[in-house]
C-alpha cells in the first residue's frame, strides 16, 4: 500500500551540494581539492556544486556515482527535486492561474 504524496513541501529539498558537503565529504575525509582531483574536475567546479551555484549534470552524476558507488539517478533525482521546487516557487503566481482540465 502506498501513501500518496499530495502535500506541498514547505522547505526546499536537500541539494546535491549540501549532501556532498554535509554527508559524503566528511564520511570519506574529502576536501574540495581532493574531491575535485578524484572526479577529474576543477576545484572551482566542486566549489560551485557545494554552494548550489552549479547544477548536477548527467556527466557529473556519472562521476559521483562511480566515486561513491551509488547510482547516477540518485544524484540526478536530488537535482531534479531542487529544480522543481525552485521553479514552483519562482513561477507560483503564473502556475496558480492554470486550471486543471477534466475529461469529458
Percent of the chain with pLDDT over 90: 89
User: What is the per-residue pLDDT for 61?
Assistant: 98
Per the CB < 8 A criterion, the answer to whether 46 and 35 are in contact is yes
Tell me the pTM. 0.86
CA 29 vs CA 12, 24, 47, 71: distances in Å = 27, 8, 16, 21
16-96 placed in CATH 1.10.3720.10? no
Q: C-alpha grid cell for residue 42?
A: 576543477
Please state the rounded mean pLDDT for residues 63-86.
98
Q: Which long-range contacts (CB under 8 A, 24 or more apart) does 86-95 make?
A: 86/12
Amino acid at each position: 500500500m502506498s501513501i500518496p504524496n499530495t502535500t506541498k513541501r514547505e522547505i526546499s529539498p536537500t541539494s546535491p551540494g549540501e549532501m556532498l558537503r554535509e554527508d559524503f565529504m566528511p564520511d570519506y575525509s574529502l576536501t574540495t581539492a581532493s574531491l575535485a582531483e578524484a572526479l577529474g574536475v576543477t576545484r572551482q567546479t566542486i566549489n560551485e556544486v557545494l554552494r548550489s551555484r552549479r547544477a548536477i549534470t548527467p556527466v557529473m552524476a556519472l562521476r559521483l556515482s562511480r566515486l561513491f558507488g551509488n547510482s547516477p539517478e540518485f544524484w540526478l533525482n536530488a537535482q531534479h527535486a531542487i529544480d522543481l521546487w525552485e521553479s514552483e516557487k519562482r513561477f507560483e503566481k503564473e502556475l496558480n492561474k492554470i486550471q486543471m482540465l477534466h475529461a469529458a
